[in-house]
Amino acid sequence: METLANLESFVRSAELGSFSSAARRMGLTPAAVSRNVAALEANLKLRLFQRSTRSLTLTEAGERFLHSVRDHLESLQVAIAEASNEQAEPAGVLRLSMSPTFGVEYILPTLPEFMTRYPLIRPEWMFENRQVDLIGEGYDAAIGGGFDLTPGIIAKTLASAHIIAVASPSYMQGRVPPHDPSGLVELDGIVMRSMRTGRIRQWQMRNVAGDEQPAVLKERIVVNDPAAMRSAAVLGLGVAMIAKPDALPYLENGELVRLLPAWYADAGPISVYYASRTLLPTKTRVFIDFLGEVFQRERWPERFAGTLG
């Protein structure tokens, strides 16, 4: 009878394409994963992988075996995890990645409540403007938008990420507000250059009627960080296209005003990303559930929507 360790080593190696990646996913060494797969092959008297120094590919027999066992392995692991979790209190280090602006302003303030509920979980939260490799870098989850969904990664949508045009009341004093996105070109633009592509980000705005127009800004000030765009707008230096969540506190306190309240650009959803749904550690599962609860309680999906003024 095969052990779950041997079977999981085989399945994860097949899914991720290497013993090293499977080892990071399982918390083992590559040598241990390789030994588990070799033991499985010896017991089955089948070669499951073609190995080389650069690649790991399934044989025909390996393809058939993967198809046969993958769903059953997941079901067994879920059953075992559910049985053990009934009595276990969530514990361990929770490694999370999120953007500095959104993370500090919205997620970090929820931490006292989360730690009161789950005192045995130790947060290790990284605030960074990049897409992390959840499995390769050992993260339990990430919050953001636009992540590439590599094999084994799940995205749960939390809210829409809508982009709106904002400026300070002092900047707009004496200026005529634009009636549609084409009028933005008459104002000083605070724009962002992507560190990844080196390009100035351009937005296509839309309204609830379905009309679309490009938002063309004069490149008066160029920065590389969303928080810097917002700060420059608060200082009265021009118009910025920023995410509604980033603008919301400043709209509410009057430091910024929204231009073109009927128009917004869609940057995709704000999501929480995590590894395979059926293999979640309890600490990760309770955090994802907690996050969904907070978003609904605070009405963030509604408040972050660009369709609302």
Q: Calculate ∠ Cα 106-109-112, nearest 5°.
A: 145
Fold of the domain built from segment(s) 162-243:
D-Maltodextrin-Binding Protein; domain 2 (3.40.190)
- pLDDT tens column, 118-164: 999 999 999 988 888 887 788 899 999 877 777 778 899 999 989 99
pLDDT for position 256: 98
Which residues are paired to 156 by β-bridges?
Answer: 272
Which residues are paired to 57 by β-bridges?
Answer: 50
The structure's pTM equals 0.70
Q: Could you count the other beta carbons within 10 Å of the beta carbon of residue 41?
A: 19
Phi/psi of residue 261, nearest 5 degrees: -60, -15
Start-end ranges of CATH 3.40.190.10 in the chain?
92-160+269-304
For the chain, report the end-to-end CA distance as a whole number of angstroms.
Answer: 62
Q: Most distant CA pair in the chain: distance in Å?
A: 82
Full DSSP string of 219-277: EEEEES-HHHHHHHHHTTS-EEEEEHHHHHHHHHTTS-EEESTTEEEEEEEEEEEEE-G
How far is it, in rounded angstroms, from Cα 14 to Cα 49?
8
Q: Could you count the other beta carbons within 10 Å of the beta carbon of residue 104?
A: 14
pLDDT for position 209: 87
Start-end ranges of CATH 3.40.190.290 in the chain?
162-243
Q: Report the chain (309 residues): mean pLDDT per 10 consecutive residues.
A: 80 89 85 92 92 86 89 70 65 92 95 96 92 83 82 88 96 95 96 85 90 94 94 97 95 97 93 79 93 96 83
What architecture does CATH give domain 4-84? Orthogonal Bundle (1.10)
How far is it, in rounded angstroms, from Cα 24 to Cα 22?
5
CB 205 within 8 A of CB 264: yes
pLDDT for position 183: 95
What architecture does CATH give domain 92-160+269-304? 3-Layer(aba) Sandwich (3.40)
How far is it, in rounded angstroms, from Cα 200 to Cα 280?
38
How far is it, in rounded angstroms, from Cα 2 to Cα 72?
13
Residue whose tokens read 């390769």:
136
